[in-house]
Amino acid sequence: MRWNKVKIMPFQDLREFIGKLEEEKQVVRIAEEVDWNLEVGAITRLCDEAGLPAPFFQKIKGYTDAYRILGEPLSNHKRVAIAMDMEPNSSVKSLIEEYGKRKRMPVKPTRRHDGPCKEYIRKGKEVDLLEFPVPFVHEGDGGRFIGTWHLTICKDVNSGWVNWGMYRHMLHDKNTIGLQAGPPTHVRRILQGWIDKGKPMEIAIVLGAEPVCTMCAAAPIPYGVSEVDIAGGIRGRSVELIKCETVDLEVPATAEIVIEGEVALHEMREEGPFGEYTGYMGGHREQRPVIHVNAVTYRNHPIFTMMNEGMPVTGTHATQSVTRSAECVEMLRALGIPATAAYEHTHGCTLLIVVAIRAGQARADDVAHAIWGSRLGVSTPYVIVVEDDVDPFDLEQVLHAIASKCHPYRGIVRLDRARGHALFPWLSRYEQQHLLGARVYFDCTWPSDWAPEDIPRKCSFESIYPSDVQQKALDVWQRHGFKKD
CA 43 to the chain's CA centroid = 21
Is the pLDDT assigned to residue 4 strictly greater than 70? no
Q: Which residue has the higher pLDDT, 125 or 463?
A: 125
Distance CA 79, CA 210 (A): 13
Yes or no: say if 269 and 287 are a contact pair by the CB < 8 Å rule: yes
Where do the domains of the chain lie, and which CATH numbers do they carry?
Answer: 14-306 (2.30.110.10), 335-454 (3.40.1670.10)
Q: Quick one: pLDDT at residue 483? A: 72
Question: 132-176: per-residue pLDDT in tens?
Answer: 999 999 999 999 999 999 999 999 999 999 999 999 999 999 999
Q: Which amino acid is at 388?
A: D
pLDDT value at position 81?
98
What's the pLDDT at 462? 86
Mean pLDDT of all residues in 450-461: 90
| pTM of the entire predicted model | 0.93
Q: Report the pLDDT value the prediction gives residue 485, as an integer from 0 to 100.
A: 62
What is the mean predicted confidence (pLDDT) over 72-86? 98
- Residue 43 or residue 1, greater confidence: 43
Judge whether residue 98 has pLDDT over 50: yes
Partners of 121 in the β-ladder: 297
For residue 20, pLDDT beyond 60: yes
Question: What pLDDT score was predicted for residue 51?
Answer: 94
Residue 3 has pLDDT above 60, yes or no: no
Average pLDDT on 116-136 reads 98
Radius of gyration of the chain (CA): 23
Residue 166, CA distances (Å) to 218, 268, 363 in order: 5, 20, 34
| Strand pairing report for 303-306 and 68-71 | parallel
How far is it, in rounded angstroms, from Cα 243 to Cα 153? 12
Average pLDDT over residues 176-204: 94
Residue 9 pLDDT = 87
Mean pLDDT computed over every residue of the chain: 95
Q: CA 421, CA 185: separation in Å to the nearest integer?
A: 11
Segment 349-388, tens digit of pLDDT: 999 999 999 998 999 999 999 999 998 888 999 999 999 9
Closest by CA position to 243, among listed 174, 162, 149: 162
* Arithmetic mean of pLDDT, 70-77: 98
- Cβ atoms 316, 148 nearer than 8 A: no
Mean predicted confidence (pLDDT) in 179-198: 92
What angle separates helix 227-235 from helix 92-103, to the nearest 10 degrees?
120
Plot region of 350 (φ>0 → left; ψ -120 to 50 → alpha; else → beta) = left
**What gap in Å lies between CA 79 and CA 57, rounded to an integer?**
18
Rounded-to-integer distance, Cα 263 and Cα 274, Å? 21
Sheet holding 382-387, edge to edge: 339-343, 352-357, 382-387, 436-444, 412-419
Helix axes 315-334, 92-103, angle to 10 degrees: 60
Check pLDDT > 80 for residue 2: no
Asked whether the predicted pLDDT for residue 49 surpasses 80, the reply is yes
Beta bridge partners of 414: 440
Pick left, alpha or beta for residue 293 (phi over 0 → left; psi -120 to 50 → alpha; otherwise beta): beta
CA distance 172 to 142: 10
441 φ/ψ angles, rounded to the nearest 5 degrees: -125, 150
Model confidence at 7, pLDDT cuts 50, 70, 90, reads: confident
Q: How far is CA 410 from the centre of its chain?
A: 33
SS (H, E, C) the chain: CCCCCCCCCCCCCHHHHHHHHHHCCCEEEECCCECCECHHHHHHHHHHHHCCCEEEECCECCCCCCCEEEECCCCCHHHHHHHCCCCCCCCHHHHHHHHHHHHCCCCCCEECCCCHHHCEEEEHHHCCHHHCCCCECCCCCCCCEEECCEEEEEECCCCCCEEEECCCEEEEECCEEECCCCCCCHHHHHHHHHHHCCCCEEEEEEECCCHHHHHHHCCCCCCCCCHHHHHHHHHCCCCEEEECCCCCCEEECCCCEEEEEEEEEEEEEEECCEECCCCCEECCCEEEEEEEEEEEEECCCCEEEECCCCCCCCHHHHHHHHHHHHHHHHHHHHCCCCEEEEECCHHHCCCEEEEEECCCCCCHHHHHHHHHCCHHHHHCCEEEEEECCCCCCCHHHHHHHHHHHCCCCCCEEEEEEEECCCCCCCCCHHHHHCCEEEEEEEEECCCCCCCHHHCCCCCCHHHHCCHHHHHHHHHHHHHCCCCCC
* pLDDT at 5 exceeding the cut of 80: no
Residues 222-259 pLDDT 10s: 999 999 999 999 999 999 999 999 999 999 999 999 99
**Residues, the chain, total?**
485
CA distance 440 to 352: 10
pLDDT digits (tens, 9 = 90+) for 437-455: 999 999 999 998 999 899 9
pLDDT at 484 over 90: no
Q: For 278, list phi and psi in degrees, rounded to 5.
A: -75, -10
Predicted local distance difference test score (pLDDT) of residue 290: 98
